[in-house]
Chain A
């Protein structure tokens, strides 16, 4: 077997540089002034200036957007994972006639893109539910759209858990709900983390629904970044600093749990 073929390293380095380059560029240029940027677009910060970043962290709008993003993502995750594991459990454990058709409903749900429903959905949320410009107005539909994938990942996982524990508990007189809560939920924690992180990052990054439903102080970070970059388009360094800071939470969360998530997904791809 090849061990340390130089060509492999060259390719790896090139791919890594291209992947991370623009992000690093944005982060570095956040440390420069716009004059430095104009005179030498590809140079390094010299001297390093912290003004752009400190401006982001002292900008009350930034904290407002970050709070909104955090709350919406947390609500979305809680609802999607909660409702998802509830639905996946009987689909994995009970034998009933409609089980497979019911599971098909969730599989088909994957085929409905948000874009198809977005216009009537935003009318429904703002006029019928009176939830426009609220956290719930974004979190509820996002959770609904996250549910199909949550159930599709969780069901096979729950099916693969050994039944014996649950059966023993049932014989000992535990209720089905008790078994679900005390045995199935703790055992499926790894899968719950995977679907939870997926739902959280999808919500943290989402743009379309917030774009149509949130304004002013209720905006989330992606919306804030996009608006900031058009409003202060002349302040390139400021925009890059703002953008860099906005990416950090999702990046840290995802990368720290990456091994777990990728393993979960690999299992799913192999079916």
Chain B
């Protein structure tokens, strides 16, 4: 899984907001604050009827499987017969001491760090440059969004073809430029494979970052530029001292989404390398899926799922606590 289309919308600031709808500043035109009266019987019934299908779907297909993963993680189970060989925390012990899994955690974290260290400055820089007036801006925006719309699998298949050793285009272009490509290809060399995967991910997701930052730049008022220009600031000074800080909330939201996406990485790795060579690109998700489907180690897969989930929630909570908190405070 990768940065999915949707969570662009996560308003993490709202997470522990007691009642966003009742803030006096709530931007709801025509809405007066009103005293809450007792909910009538009829209304309660309507609420239940309205909300029930969604809650039932989520209970059945999200909550129940997640609970089953926790249960599964406490048993040794090969996928058939009753689940009755209770082993306590031994699956966790095995997962956390399995070098393939700890390496997978490292790979996920490397992708998290690289995304923020490389895609963020690249995305912000390109967005700043594209924010100037130019002809065909709409077309440019549409075209840089193309990789994001492709399925990760399809992007992976195309790049797999481009990266084929010797006969692929990338190797061809490199040889043409006098650089010797690696013998086994970028995806086949253990030291390079993770970088190659990261490169393809950057290709796929940079457009989204640029687009989000461009959207954030729309809210920087024009007067700011003019005022700073009158004071004799150069273009770069204006960008660095004024515009980028104003872009802060968008940048922090993007980092959050990128982090969550990097932790769930699966499709691209599965198509490009299958986790190889020699486990050089295994991620937590590819580990648990190969344990669950190819080896029928359901207990191990369950334990790995729980670890993945805990790491994700812990990082989200820390991020919310230490980084996003600032936005909430500033905005109020």
Residues of A within 8 A of B (CB): 1-5, 7-9, 11-12, 15-16, 18-20, 22-23, 25-26, 37-38, 41-42, 79, 82-84, 86-87, 89-92, 94-97, 99-100, 102, 104-107, 109-121, 123-124, 140-141, 143-149, 151-153, 159-160, 162-164, 176-177, 180, 198, 201-202, 204-208, 211-212, 221-223, 225-226, 229, 236, 239-240, 243, 246-247, 250-251, 254-255, 258, 262, 265-266, 268-271
Contacts and interface: CB of A to CB of B under 8 A. Distances in A.
Interface string B122-151: 000010011011111000101111110111
19 contacts: A11-B126, A11-B130, A22-B158, A23-B150, A25-B162, A26-B158, A42-B169, A79-B57, A90-B47, A91-B51, A92-B21, A94-B39, A116-B66, A117-B61, A118-B288, A120-B72, A124-B68, A151-B54, A226-B157
- Give the most central of B14, B57, B284: most A CB within 10 Å: B57
B215 interface: yes
B153 interface: yes
Contacts of A163: 30-31
A107 B13 CA distance: 11
A268 B170 CA distance: 39
Contact of B47 (A96, A114, A205, A222): A96
B29 A152 contact: no
B51 A86 contact: yes
B305 A119 contact: yes
A37 B51 CA distance: 56
B9 A153 contact: yes
Contacts of A86: 50-51, 53-54
Contact of B203 (A19, A106, A250): A19
Given A211-B270, A262-B215, 20 more contacts: A12-B140, A25-B162, A41-B169, A90-B47, A91-B51, A94-B43, A94-B47, A111-B313, A116-B66, A120-B64, A123-B68, A162-B29, A163-B30, A202-B4, A207-B151, A208-B1, A208-B289, A212-B289, A240-B158, A247-B150
Contact of B58 (A121, A123, A147, A223): A147
B312 interface: yes
B203 A87 contact: no
Contacts of B289: 115, 118-119, 208, 212
Q: Which interface residue of B5, B36, B136 has the most chain A CB atoms within 10 A?
A: B5
B65 interface: yes
B302 A120 contact: yes
Interface string B77-91: 001000000000000
A143 B55 CA distance: 12
Contacts of B216: 269
B66 A117 contact: yes
Given A25-B162, A86-B50, A140-B61, A120 B31 contact: no
SS of B interface (majority)? helix
A219 to B, nearest CB: 12
B10 interface: yes
Interface string B167-185: 1110011000000000000
A107 B308 CA distance: 19
Interface string B1-31: 1001111111101110011010000111111
Nearest to B18: A100
Given A15-B144, A240-B161, A121 B65 contact: yes
A251 B27 CA distance: 34
Contact of A83 (B53, B79, B142, B210): B53
Contacts of B167: 37-38, 41
B329 interface: no
A269 B215 contact: yes
Rank and list the top 4 A-B pairs by shortest CB-CB distance, nearest first: A205-B151, A120-B68, A149-B6, A144-B61
Contacts of A112: 62, 66, 309
Contacts of B44: 96
Contact of A265 (B9, B27, B55, B301): B9
B198 to A, nearest CB: 15
Given A25-B169, A177-B46, A115 B5 contact: no
B64 A124 contact: yes
B151 A247 contact: yes
A5 B218 CA distance: 19
B101 interface: no
B316 interface: yes
Contacts of A118: 65, 288-289, 292, 305
A90 B51 contact: yes
A145 to B, nearest CB: 7
Contacts of B162: 22, 25
A269 B9 contact: yes
